[in-house]
Amino acid sequence: MADSFPSFFETLKQHGLVLKRKPAEILQINLGRLCNQACKHCHLSAGPHKRDIMNRNTMDEVIDFAQRCKFKAVDITGGAPEMNPDLPYLIETISSVADQVMLRSNLSALLDYSHDQLIPVLKKNRVILVSSFPSLNPAQTDSQRGIGVFEKSIEALMLLNRQGYGMDGTGFLLNLVSNPSGAFLPSSQKALEKRYREILKKKWGINFNNAYTFANVPLGRFEAWLQQSGNYDDYLTLLYKSFNPCTLPGLMCRNQISVSFDGYLFDCDFNLAAGVYKAFEKTHISQIRVSSFDKDPIAVGNHCYTCTAGTGFT
Amino acid sequence: METYYNPADLLKFNNIGKDVPELAKKFFEYYGAVFLEGELSEREKSLIALAVAHTIQCPYCIDAYTKACLEKGSNLAEMTEALHVVTAIRGGASLVHGVQMRNVAEKLSI
């Protein structure tokens, strides 16, 4: 980390702030780092050669845990969750436990891995799709996510629209997520959504519900790229200088908790990537009986400057 | 001094208000207002600024508005096309004076 500015912990102290949890409402389940893509901005360094995926036994423990702690919503992520053969089982089972299930999809994996079997399961359980779509420009998308990804993403979005996802009145929600293609902050969510809606409709007839922008987190493969390209110090300084204390109440680590592919708890997916356990203590979900985690301390590191930059990213 | 331009100086732009604060205040308020979303989006305004920055060849502005364009969601193809627009106008402005050159030459020539 760049040492030309105070640590995130110090900055919180300077502002007289303490980061503590509210009752946990969302359980984020990371199914592991196996992915069909190897994106340059990936904080988890996920890719086709990673072999850590959640097995059925851990999945059952996660489902029990979700039931015990009564999470309102579940957010399934990876890697590419579609590559886990037990994903349909997880969705079917956990849908009876949580009111809302979200699935993060990189779109190309949805296209490549049995979408004909998976999409009916998603629709039956009203799963909200949160899909990566970094840019309207093929070159920017492909340089971040791999050659041919833009074309596949468009194909997948058209398929989802045909299935009712992103279409008015169906209730099948399709949300898009854009990460910048490099060491700079994302555009405003409102401006990006407006432009995406206009261009996607005009060029490809594609509809979606919401678009979100997330800043890239200086961990994993993105951190390596920052170092290699000589952008590391400037990017960290940019995040630090964009620190906005008003973002703290809305940070995802306040009301969300993450579980790794092997069943351990983390304050967020970024701490999971950094290997920093929830409140710095290695705890397996099977050790937790019933808890809302209210007022628990939150483990922080300098990568936390990402979520507090500008208007914040959650 | 090795070079007249230092990237770190861009961050000192505010210092221009040290001795004449009223005018600087007016300028920076105006500058900030210009780049807010209006009939043109912030993204479109940044593309214009980038193109003009190349015309006036201001390294500070090129640095700042390249970053701004990327942050506002523009891509390299759009940014390059914007440069071609100002290049065409700049080149065209030179070339169109050829009419004047021809007028003079034709008047003098038999």
Q: Is the residue at A252 inside a domain?
A: no
Average pLDDT, chain A: 94
CB contact set of A240 (below 8 Å; sequence gap of 6+): A2, A5, A6, A11, A305
Q: How many residues does chain B have?
A: 110
User: Residue ranges of chain A with pLDDT lower than 50?
Assistant: 1
Query: Per the structure, how many domains does chain A have?
Result: 1
Neighboring chain A residues of B77 at a CB cutoff of 8 Å: 137, 139
Find tokens 């590559």 and name the residue: A83
Residue A134, CA atoms < 13 Å, CB-side half-sphere:
28
pLDDT in tens, B10-69: 889 999 999 999 999 999 999 999 999 999 999 999 999 999 999 999 999 999 999 999
In a domain, A312, yes or no: no
Spatial separation of the C-alpha atoms in residues A131 and A199, rounded to whole Å: 17
Instruction: Check CB contact of B41 with chain A, cutoff 8 Å.
Output: yes
Instruction: Show the beta-strand stretches assigned E in B1-110.
Output: none
- CA neighbor of A42 nearest in space, from A149, A154, A118, A114: A149
Which residue in A188, A199, A212 has the most chain B C-beta atoms within 10 A of its own C-beta, making it the best mutation to test that interface? A188
What pLDDT is stored for residue A204 in this prediction?
97
Give me the phi and psi of A259, to 5 degrees please: -125, 135
Residue at A7 is within a domain: no
Domain that holds residue A37: 20-229
Query: How far from A43 is each of A48, A134, A192, B85, CA to CA, in Å?
Result: 15, 15, 23, 38
Buried b (16+ CB within 10 A) or exposed e, A203-235: eeebbbbbbbbbbbbbbbbbbebbeeeebbeeb
- Most distant CA pair in chain A: distance in Å? 53
Q: Is B15 on the interface with A (CB under 8 A)?
A: no
Copy the structure tokens of residue B62: 């090129």
Specify burial of residue A73 (Cβ count, 10 A radius: 0-12, 13-18, 19+): middle
Are B43 and A140 a contacting pair at CB < 8 A?
no
H/E element, A151: helix A149-162
Q: Which residues fall within 8 angstroms of residue A107, CB to CB, at 6 or more apart?
A: A131, A132, A133, A149, A152, A153, A156, A157
**Would you give the DSSP letter of residue A258?**
E
Residue A109 structure tokens: 């994996």
Question: What ipTM does this complex have?
Answer: 0.71
User: What is the reported pLDDT for A312?
Assistant: 64
| Structural domains of chain B in order of their starting residue, each with its CATH number | 35-108 (1.20.1290.10)
Nearest chain B residue to A187, by CA = B72
**Is A75 domain-assigned?**
yes
- Asked if B42 reaches chain A (Cβ–Cβ under 8 Å), the answer is yes
pLDDT at A305: 97
A157 is a domain residue: yes
Model pLDDT for residues A33-85, shown as the tens digit of each residue: 999 999 999 999 999 999 999 999 999 999 999 999 999 999 999 999 999 99
**Probe site for chain A from B65, B72, B79, B81 (most A CB atoms < 10 A):** B72
Q: Which residues of A touch B (CB under 8 A)?
A: 135-137, 139-140, 178, 180-182, 184-188, 191-192, 194-195
In this prediction, residue A311 carries a pLDDT of 75
**CATH code: domain of residue A24:** 3.20.20.70
Task: Give the largest Cα separation in chain B, rounded.
Answer: 63
Identify the DSSP state of A182.
S
**Do residue B77 and residue A195 have CB atoms under 8 angstroms apart?**
no
Q: List C-alpha distances in Å: B12 to B9, B24, B47, B61.
A: 5, 13, 24, 14
What one-character DSSP code corresponds to residue A1?
-
Asked whether the beta carbons of A48 and A80 are under 8 A apart, the reply is no
Q: Give domain status of residue A162, yes or no.
A: yes
DSSP one-letter string for A29-94? EE-BSB-S---TT-TT--BTT---B--HHHHHHHHHHHHHHT-SEEEEESS-GGGSTTHHHHHHHH
Q: Is residue A307 part of a domain?
A: no
- Kindly report, residue by residue over A23-37, the tens digit of the pLDDT: 999 999 999 999 999
| Alpha-carbon distance A183 to nearest alpha carbon in chain B (angstroms) | 9
